[in-house]
Amino acid sequence: MPEPVANPTQTFLNVDSSLSGQRWVHRLDSAGMNRALAIAQSGTVSDLVSRVLAGRGVGLDETETFLAPTLKNLMPDPSTLRDMDAAAARIAMAIAKKQRVAIFGDYDVDGAASSALLARFFNAFGIEWEIYIPDRVFEGYGPNPAAMDQLIDAGAQLIVTVDCGSSSVDALERAASRNIDVVVLDHHQIGQNIPTCAALVNPNREDDLSGQGHLCAAGVVFLTLVAVLRQLRQQGDKTAQSVDLMGMLDLVALATVCDVVPLKGLNRAYIVKGLLVARQMSNIGLAALMKVAGVDGPLSPYHLGFLIGPRINAGGRIGDAALGSRLLTLSDAAQAQEIAETLNRLNQERQALEKEVLQAAEAEALADQGGGEGPAVIVTAGERWHPGIVGIVAARLKEKFKRPAFAIALDPSGRGTGSGRSIAGFDMGRMVRDAVDAGLLTKGGGHAMAAGLSVERENLGALRSFFEERAGETVRQLSRNRSLKIDGALAARGATHELMEQLDSAGPYGAGHPQPVFGLPEHQLLDARVVGRDHVRMRLADSTGGKIEAIAFRAAETDVGAALLAGRGRSFHFAGTLSVNHWQGRQQIQLRVVDAANSP
């Protein structure tokens, strides 16, 4: 099937408005087409995969190293990070003096994996350690003075914070007042006010010139441990000669995928090499999670992000926040299986809570529309909502209504804790910070695509008006101009295992390196039916008789799903991503449909 001419000023397959209201456009511009042509002519990969690479900014000179990322080529000298040498020296001193170390982590996957990574490293040297994960509801994010006192009273001689601590001025001052050093290993945005500590390693601090701001906390921790080992070996520590740091990359890969950081540079090597380690199932806790999650086939970024990660997060959302980090440090299979089953149960409870709250939030959002277009920014709130799931609910609202959305959990006193998710092109974090400056929020912050806030019930009306004033025109313009970028045309017969292997080599895919989207022109819809709660499973056929299985997740009640369920036997243009479905020992290529359009 001939490839449509890639002209970004024209629509892909002439789809100006798909069944979901999107305009299909070519991902490649003219410069991208030239890059794709050069890569294809080198004979390294197929024409289609050349387009995928070029569409993600990869040039001919970078292709070989991009397809085979290595730590040797991509890892910087750790000392290029600000304060790294001081941090490594202090941790090395704790090891040399056999000091007791407290690890203070965040309650998400990155925090759990970072904490476990440090703990497993200390195990190799026989160092006593304790992991402290704060309670999301009662303590909130990051170190607090009371927690510092508790750790010091329990005998901590060094405190290392991971995935938090960069802005914890009061807590770190408390530790300093008691003559206890704190080393901060973090990656969150911070201003110029650096808290009192022995070292603060954060590639996103304003005076850090390392260029590693895309790393998650576990990526920063790994670099720190490389620096610590270097110092210990220079000091003649015999144990340091035998520590298998590479064998801990499974935790770094897990955190990198689940924290949705840009998959570029060192992050790609972390995931590719970390997956190889994880597939050996040497981490007892991770292996137990894979078992209860029903991972089928070789472990992939999808499994980490959608099956493993949510179960670890479930502890921090509605259960014991320390369960995930504890699990990832275990060497006892029976204990690991018990905690994994607990996390699996908590995840099921989280899903039930999410469903209940989402129904209420959707009802509130629909009522706010009043039969019209509704507000540009959706703000929903409820008294019996669990604060640990509002982020997930906000993401679902954004997905359904195609506009920025917030979900806020109100406590009995009327204080609200909320989370928001944005659409591409709109900076939600800036809007939330402006609302703080305007006195409408108790606190709030975030980045372009997500934000958190604290608000009093009596300010909700004014907050909605403020968001409408700030976002209305921009969001409606973005909604009118929604588009889907297509990497290239593909027929069902062309979706081969050879193509999948090449696409895998161009991965892993995620933030900053999106999964390739292919357009399947004029494919007949042989069958369509609802499976699970609201997924639509299909079989498609091209004009030569080639067939492919397809699925549209959470689509049954959408415009796309309704059209497909009513369109059996008709031909449509389909757009989607490819994956290999492993089931009972069989491997079947599947199209995940993200959109569809009527064909002529």
Q: Which residues of 198-234 are buried (b: 16+ CB within 10 A; e: fewer)?
A: bbbbbbbbeebebebebbbbbbbbbbbbbbbbbbbee
Are both 417 and 272 inside the same structural domain? Answer: no
The sign of the torsion formed by the CA atoms of 209, 210, 215, 220 equals negative
Output the pLDDT for position 320. 86
Assess if residue 43 is contained within a domain.
Answer: no
Judged by phi (left if over 0) then psi (alpha if -120 to 50, else beta), residue 88 lies in alpha
Are both 159 and 306 inside the same structural domain? Answer: yes
Cα angle vertex 118, ends 112, 120, to 5°? 95
Whether the pLDDT of residue 7 is over 60: the answer is no
User: Residues 434-462: what's their mean pLDDT?
Assistant: 91
- Interatomic CA distance for residues 283 and 253, integer angstroms: 13
Return the half-sphere exposure (C-beta side, CA atoms, 13 A cut-off) of residue 278. Answer: 30
Total count of residues recorded for the chain = 600
82 strand-pairing partners = none
pLDDT, mean over the chain: 93
The two three-digit tokens of residue 156, written as one number: 């901590």
Are both 324 and 444 inside the same structural domain? Answer: no
Structural contact between residues 171 and 142, judged by C-beta atoms closer than 8 angstroms: yes
Last residue of a domain, one of 325, 344, 363: 344
Assess if residue 364 is contained within a domain.
Answer: no
Reported confidence tier of residue 137, pLDDT bands at 50, 70, 90? confident
Least confident of 135-149, 250-264, 273-287: 135-149
CATH number, residue 395: 3.10.310.30
Assess if residue 182 is contained within a domain.
Answer: yes
φ, ψ of residue 404 in degrees (nearest 5): -55, 145
Are both 258 and 151 inside the same structural domain? Answer: yes
CATH number, residue 123: 3.90.1640.30
Tens digits of residue pLDDT in 238-279: 999 999 999 999 999 999 999 988 899 999 999 999 999 999
Please provide the DSSP assignment of 65-93 as one string.
HHHS--HHHHPPPGGGSTTHHHHHHHHHH
Are both 143 and 279 inside the same structural domain? Answer: yes
Tens digits of residue pLDDT in 319-348: 788 999 999 999 999 999 999 999 999 999
Whether the pLDDT of residue 463 is over 70: the answer is yes
Whether the pLDDT of residue 369 is over 70: the answer is yes
- Interatomic CA distance for residues 263 and 476, integer angstroms: 30
- Interatomic CA distance for residues 398 and 391, integer angstroms: 11
Cα separation values, 448 from 242, 371, 418, 510, 557, Å: 43, 29, 16, 17, 29
> Cis bond leading into 4, ω under 30°?
no
Output the pLDDT for position 8. 47
Least confident of 369-373, 493-497, 543-547: 369-373
Please provide the DSSP assignment of 46-62 as one string.
-HHHHHHHHTTT--GGG
Whether the pLDDT of residue 167 is over 90: the answer is no
Structural contact between residues 254 and 117, judged by C-beta atoms closer than 8 angstroms: no
Within 8 A by CB and 6+ apart from 452, the residues are 391, 417, 418, 419, 420, 432, 444, 445, 446
Assess if residue 217 is contained within a domain.
Answer: yes
Whether the pLDDT of residue 518 is over 90: the answer is yes
Are both 572 and 470 inside the same structural domain? Answer: no
End-to-end CA distance of the chain: 17
Output the pLDDT for position 389. 93
Reported confidence tier of residue 135, pLDDT bands at 50, 70, 90? confident
CATH number, residue 587: 2.40.50.460
Assess if residue 51 is contained within a domain.
Answer: no
Reported confidence tier of residue 6, pLDDT bands at 50, 70, 90? very low
Output the pLDDT for position 370. 67
Are both 464 and 568 inside the same structural domain? Answer: no
Are both 383 and 309 inside the same structural domain? Answer: no
Please provide the DSSP assignment of 408-446 as one string.
EEEPTTSEEEEEEE--TT--HHHHHHHHHHTTS-SEEEE
User: Residues 219-233: what's their mean pLDDT?
Assistant: 98
Number of domains in the chain: 3
Structural contact between residues 195 and 168, judged by C-beta atoms closer than 8 angstroms: yes
Within 8 A by CB and 6+ apart from 520, the residues are 489, 490, 491, 492, 540, 542, 548, 573, 574, 575, 576, 591
Helix axes 284-293, 333-369, angle to 10 degrees: 50
Are both 315 and 179 inside the same structural domain? Answer: yes
Assess if residue 54 is contained within a domain.
Answer: no
Between strands 199-201 and 488-489, the pairing is unpaired
- Interatomic CA distance for residues 503 and 53, integer angstroms: 9
The sign of the torsion formed by the CA atoms of 566, 572, 577, 582 equals positive
Please provide the DSSP assignment of 286-313 as one string.
HHHHHHHHT--SS--HHHIIIIIHHHHH
Residue 463 lies in domain = 373-475
Are both 250 and 292 inside the same structural domain? Answer: yes
Last residue of a domain, one of 475, 498, 515: 475
- Interatomic CA distance for residues 335 and 579, integer angstroms: 34
Global pTM reads 0.90
**Percent residues over pLDDT 70 in the chain:** 98
Cα separation values, 569 from 118, 549, 561, 600, Å: 57, 15, 15, 14
Output the pLDDT for position 372. 67
Are both 383 and 462 inside the same structural domain? Answer: yes
Whether the pLDDT of residue 4 is over 60: the answer is no
User: Residues 95-108: what's their mean pLDDT?
Assistant: 96
User: Residues 396-400: what's their mean pLDDT?
Assistant: 93
- Interatomic CA distance for residues 378 and 328, integer angstroms: 37
Reported confidence tier of residue 371, pLDDT bands at 50, 70, 90? low
Reported confidence tier of residue 2, pLDDT bands at 50, 70, 90? very low
User: Residues 536-541: what's their mean pLDDT?
Assistant: 97
Output the pLDDT for position 521. 98
Tens digits of residue pLDDT in 562-590: 999 999 999 999 999 999 987 766 789 99
Three-class SS of 458-519:
HHHHHHHHHHHHHHHHHHHHHHHCCEEEECEECCHHHCCHHHHHHHHHCCCCECCECCCCEE
Assess if residue 6 is contained within a domain.
Answer: no
Output the pLDDT for position 3. 43
- Interatomic CA distance for residues 280 and 37, integer angstroms: 38
From 440, 428, 426, select the one nearest 391 (Cα to Cα). 428
Return the half-sphere exposure (C-beta side, CA atoms, 13 A cut-off) of residue 135. Answer: 8
Last residue of a domain, one of 417, 449, 475: 475
Structural contact between residues 408 and 440, judged by C-beta atoms closer than 8 angstroms: no
Return the half-sphere exposure (C-beta side, CA atoms, 13 A cut-off) of residue 489. Answer: 15
Return the half-sphere exposure (C-beta side, CA atoms, 13 A cut-off) of residue 32. Answer: 20
Assess if residue 351 is contained within a domain.
Answer: no
The sign of the torsion formed by the CA atoms of 353, 354, 355, 359 equals positive
User: Residues 540-544: what's their mean pLDDT?
Assistant: 96
Three-class SS of 155-208:
CCCEEEEECCCCCCHHHHHHHHHCCCEEEEECCCCCCCCCCCCCEEECCCCCCC
The distance from CA 90 to its chain's CA centroid, rounded to whole angstroms, is 31
User: Residues 90-108: what's their mean pLDDT?
Assistant: 96
Tens digits of residue pLDDT in 305-318: 999 999 999 988 88
Tens digits of residue pLDDT in 194-225: 999 999 999 999 999 999 999 999 999 999 99
Reported confidence tier of residue 280, pLDDT bands at 50, 70, 90? very high
Whether the pLDDT of residue 9 is over 70: the answer is no
Within 8 A by CB and 6+ apart from 75, the residues are 223, 226, 266, 269
Output the pLDDT for position 260. 85
Are both 563 and 459 inside the same structural domain? Answer: no
